């Protein structure tokens, strides 16, 4: 990444996004439509200091968003890798890992601050799991380069995953081990996994660079060798999951009450945490006939499959069985003067609904479940969201 300052224009570029199979990887149809501005000199440049910001304690942020931090060489490229992924609210270029407060780009580029060029990713965990971000990261860097990335050399271009809590650390470490075990790389994986440090937002002209200066970004990405190298890496890793499909929910740690209220809608919180009941015939999934699976809205744990769903006439989603024998637990419920069997999720202990013995064969059971306790994952999104092991539940000719 060149060290010259580059100004920012308000021009926005239409970017075509191609989501590659399984991992939400992003490719771009690029054209030189930035108006011929030369890439070698400043473009209305600014040398103002970066705007420093501290990340939150833990990965939870306002409005139910979570945060993740990745360093992968030139932050223009790492921002581009995450910005357009479904479920990502924003990716912000900045500096982290060093001792200097509020560093400028020029200071970081000198290699004397200890900072990495990095990207802060804010994402909605109900739409995209942290594991998908890890999958994207490993396919967006050369994890064997101990001196930088491509023709960007120096400690500011080292690769690293900065974890904000123990769950992120465990997942990042597991994904690194999985990458090593693939044998795709001959050299050792040198990417560091480090605790998150204060993150300082980079100057405005660095934000959304891949969109604002598309032609210059394309020339850099191709000229540095990054694009060709990563194309080969992605081909080698095609179909290989670096994050176990079960690890996402098996390693789930239930957030605090405050975090859950931020993560869930009022109705979702009422149902899952307070044993509330939504209105019949006025909920999201009672009449949903699309192929896919239903997961716990809190943890993402798979609970039910559309192949076991039937129309019970009650106005709530109804299933003949859970997706796995131990996907849910049942407990005696004597509330409201009735004796019923309550259904709760195994991992997050979310209230889901009730179990009745009036369902169709072959089970004779009816799992009467609140839509607000569920998130539906369409069949076509199962692989990308880490649920690919359930694709065999559906007709292959329709997949």
Catalytic residues: 74, 368
Q: How far is CA 162 from the centre of its chain?
A: 15
Q: How far is CA 371 from the centre of its chain?
A: 23
HEC string for 213-231: CHHHHHHHHHHCCHHHHHH
Q: How far is CA 26 from the centre of its chain?
A: 13
HEC string for 130-148: HHHHHHHHHCCCCCCCCCE
Neighbours of 363 (CB within 10 A): 13
Quick check: helix, strand or coil at residue 236? helix
- DSSP label at residue 3: -
Q: Is the dihedral of CA 17, 96, 385, 383 positive or negative?
A: positive
Query: Rounded CA gap, 190 and 165, in Å?
Result: 21
- DSSP label at residue 60: B
Which H or E element spans position 193? strand 192-195
Residue 237, C-beta contacts closer than 8 angstroms, at least 6 positions apart? 138, 139, 182, 184
HEC string for 82-109: HHCCCCEEEEEEEEECCCCCCCCHHHHH
| Residue 391 backbone class (left: φ over 0; alpha: ψ -120 to 50; beta: rest) | alpha
Query: In angstroms, what CA-CA distances link 32 with 1, 7, 292?
Result: 19, 17, 40
Please provide the distance, in angstroms rounded to a whole number, between the alpha carbons at the two ends of the chain. Answer: 41
| Residue 325 and residue 339 in contact, taking contact as beta carbons nearer than 8 Å | no
């Amino acid at each position: 990444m060149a060290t010259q300052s580059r100004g920012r224009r308000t021009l926005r570029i239409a970017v075509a996004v191609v989501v590659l199979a399984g991992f939400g990887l992003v490719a771009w149809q690029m054209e030189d439509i930035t108006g011929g501005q030369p890439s070698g000199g400043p473009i209305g440049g600014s040398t103002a200091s970066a705007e420093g910001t501290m990340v939150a304690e833990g990965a939870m942020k306002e409005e139910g968003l979570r945060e993740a931090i990745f360093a992968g060489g030139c932050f223009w490229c790492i921002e581009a890798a995450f910005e357009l992924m479904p479920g990502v609210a924003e990716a912000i270029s900045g500096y982290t890992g060093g001792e200097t407060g509020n560093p400028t780009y020029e200071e970081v580029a000198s290699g004397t601050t200890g900072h990495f060029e990095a990207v802060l990713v804010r994402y909605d965990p109900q739409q995209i799991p942290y594991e998908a971000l890890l999958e994207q990261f490993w396919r967006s860097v050369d994890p064997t380069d101990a001196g930088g990335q491509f023709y960007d050399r120096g400690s500011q271009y080292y690769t690293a995953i900065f974890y904000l809590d123990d769950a992120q650390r465990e997942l990042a470490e597991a994904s690194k081990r999985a990458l090593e075990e693939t044998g795709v790389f001959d050299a050792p994986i040198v990417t560091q996994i480090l605790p998150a440090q204060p993150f300082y937002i980079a100057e405005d002209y660095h934000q959304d660079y891949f969109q604002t200066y598309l032609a210059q970004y394309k020339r850099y990405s191709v000229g540095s060798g990054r694009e060709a190298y990563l194309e080969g890496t992605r081909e080698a890793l095609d179909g290989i999951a670096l994050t176990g499909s079960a690890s996402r929910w098996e390693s789930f740690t239930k957030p605090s009450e405050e975090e859950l209220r931020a993560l869930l809608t009022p109705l979702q919180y009422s149902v899952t945490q307070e044993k509330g009941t939504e209105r019949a015939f006025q909920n999201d999934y009672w009449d949903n006939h699309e192929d896919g699976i239903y997961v716990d809205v809190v943890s993402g744990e798979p609970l039910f499959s559309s192949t076991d769903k039937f129309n019970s006439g009650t106005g709530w989603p109804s299933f003949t069985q859970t997706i796995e024998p131990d996907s849910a637990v049942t407990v005696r419920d004597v509330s409201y003067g009735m004796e019923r069997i309550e259904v709760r999720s195994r991992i997050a202990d979310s209230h889901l609904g009730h179990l009745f013995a009036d369902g169709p064969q072959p089970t004779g059971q009816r799992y009467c479940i609140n839509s607000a306790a569920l998130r539906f994952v369409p069949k076509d999104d199962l692989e990308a969201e880490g649920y690919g092991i359930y694709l065999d539940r559906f007709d292959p000719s329709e997949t």
